Amino acid sequence: MDNEFKTAQALEDQYVMHTYGRSPVLFEHGEGAKLYDTSGKEYIDFLAGIAVCPLGHVHPAVTAAIQEQAAKLLTTSNYFYAQNRAEVAQKLACLAGESYGWKTFFGNSGAEANECAMKIARRYGIEHKGPDCQTIITLKGSFHGRTMETLAATAQDWLQDPFKPMPQGFVSVPRNDCAALDAAIDETVCAIMLEPIQGESGVWPMEDEYLAHIRQVADANDILVIFDEVQTGLFRCGKPFCFQTVGEACVPDIMTLAKGIANGVPCGACMARGEAANMLKPGMQGSTFGGMQLAMAASRATLTNLESIKADELAAEKGAYLREQLATVSYVKEVRGKGLMVGATIEGHDAHDIVNAMLDKGFVINACNATVLRFLPPLIIEPAQIDAMIACLKSLA
């Protein structure tokens, strides 16, 4: 370990809360799908800040947009108009289907976007069915964030238990189980909230028929559908948004985004359509930094470039190749996911040991738990880089 790393580690250990298990690496710079540590060692990044840099690290157009905006104006608060905020909202609406009439609220993170979605749902329920209509149905194994309310929506005991009692108004049902969903519907339910592919709990896709069923049940009972596309959204799953992978079968009323939306600059977005888009009145929702000019400049450049390189097609093509190659690794039992959101269940090894051994050999991958490896590379990853990573995985058999 070089001295620069040792100094940073000692300082973090002393002054930063130990809420993460950190790997012993200090990255110094990046370019595209590559990262470099302070000793000059090169890594290929199959995590991209946890799906945060779809264009790769330090994309020149995003860097230029940040620099130009930083030299002009960082933020003026949401009391005033901002040209680039309007343009980002317009671009998101176009990508999600302009005819649906999407409107966006901007925050800084996925959890904040989900908070906004749940506030809209509660107001919708109260206005449509009265004060008792406040229940949000979520799915077991979900992950929606770390604030108290998003944690209550996150139906995983090990994450909730240390902080109980949880905020009320949530029930959870098993994923891909239409009968269990039907049984949970009553007059108190205002929304069904889900990730179209559960990310943190192990890359578990929802079946197409299940998504179609959700839309039908919601329509029949005047309930909103919320898609948390914080991880699946922004071209990663082979379409601009994952809901589009099932065509028109399940267009959500509310969709939340963050992670890849500004290629690494903090930004979250809650998009809503129809009546849901107008539920929150002045004073009901806000965020000091949300939609600030600096983040919007980065987002505008990110979305423009993702569109111009046809990032959805790249993700679909390279994701299919990555999944095909992963299936040839002897200890991989099952490969799941869409586009470049990929999970592999393994046997005979602890996934954390594989992640550590891969890091040692210059590949950044992730483990959701002891049995699932997760891959969320930049969408510009090259087939040769996938080949090198697969060869390394095979060498660990």
Ligand X SMILES: Cc1ncc(COP(=O)(O)O)c(C=O)c1O
- Residues near ligand X, by CB under 6 A: 109-111, 114, 143-145, 195, 199-200, 228, 230-231, 258
Nearer to ligand X, 147 or 188 (CB): 147
Nearer to ligand X, 258 or 306 (CB): 258
Reported in sequence order, the residue ranges of 80-222 that DSSP labels E, i.e. its strands, are 103-107, 135-139, 170-173, 189-194, 197-198, 204-205
Q: How many CA atoms lie within 13 A of 61 on its CB side?
A: 15
Q: Residue 304 class from Cβ within 10 Å (0-12 exposed, 13-18 middle, 19+ buried)? A: middle
Nearer to ligand X, 143 or 170 (CB): 143
Nearer to ligand X, 226 or 392 (CB): 226
Residue 190 tokens, joined:
């205002």
Nearer to ligand X, 34 or 175 (CB): 175
Q: Residue 264 class from Cβ within 10 Å (0-12 exposed, 13-18 middle, 19+ buried)? A: buried
Q: Please, what is the minimum distance in Å from the beta carbon of residue 113 to ligand X?
A: 8
Residue 157 tokens, joined:
């005991």
Q: Please, what is the minimum distance in Å from the beta carbon of residue 117 to ligand X?
A: 10
Q: Please, what is the minimum distance in Å from the beta carbon of residue 304 to ligand X?
A: 22
Measured CA to CA, the distance from residue 61 to residue 265 in angstroms comes to 13
Q: Please, what is the minimum distance in Å from the beta carbon of residue 185 to ligand X?
A: 23
Nearer to ligand X, 145 or 169 (CB): 145
b/e sequence 70-103, b meaning 16+ C-beta within 10 Å: eeeeebeebeeebebbebbbebbbebbbeeeebb
Q: Please, what is the minimum distance in Å from the beta carbon of residue 130 to ligand X?
A: 29
Whole-number Cα distances in Å, 298 to 94, 112, 189, 260: 18, 19, 37, 11
Measured CA to CA, the distance from residue 54 to residue 306 in angstroms comes to 8
The residue at minimum Cβ distance from ligand X is: 110
**Contact between 313 and 298 (Cβ < 8 Å):** no
Q: Please, what is the minimum distance in Å from the beta carbon of residue 239 to ligand X?
A: 17
Q: Please, what is the minimum distance in Å from the beta carbon of residue 126 to ligand X?
A: 24
Nearer to ligand X, 344 or 392 (CB): 344
Q: Please, what is the minimum distance in Å from the beta carbon of residue 193 to ligand X?
A: 10
Q: How many CB atoms lie within 10 A of CB 65?
A: 25
Nearer to ligand X, 199 or 238 (CB): 199
- The secondary structure of 355-393 as a DSSP string is HHHHHHTTEE-EESSSSEEEE---TT--HHHHHHHHHHH
Q: How many CA atoms lie within 13 A of 272 on its CB side?
A: 23
Measured CA to CA, the distance from residue 362 to residue 44 in angstroms comes to 6
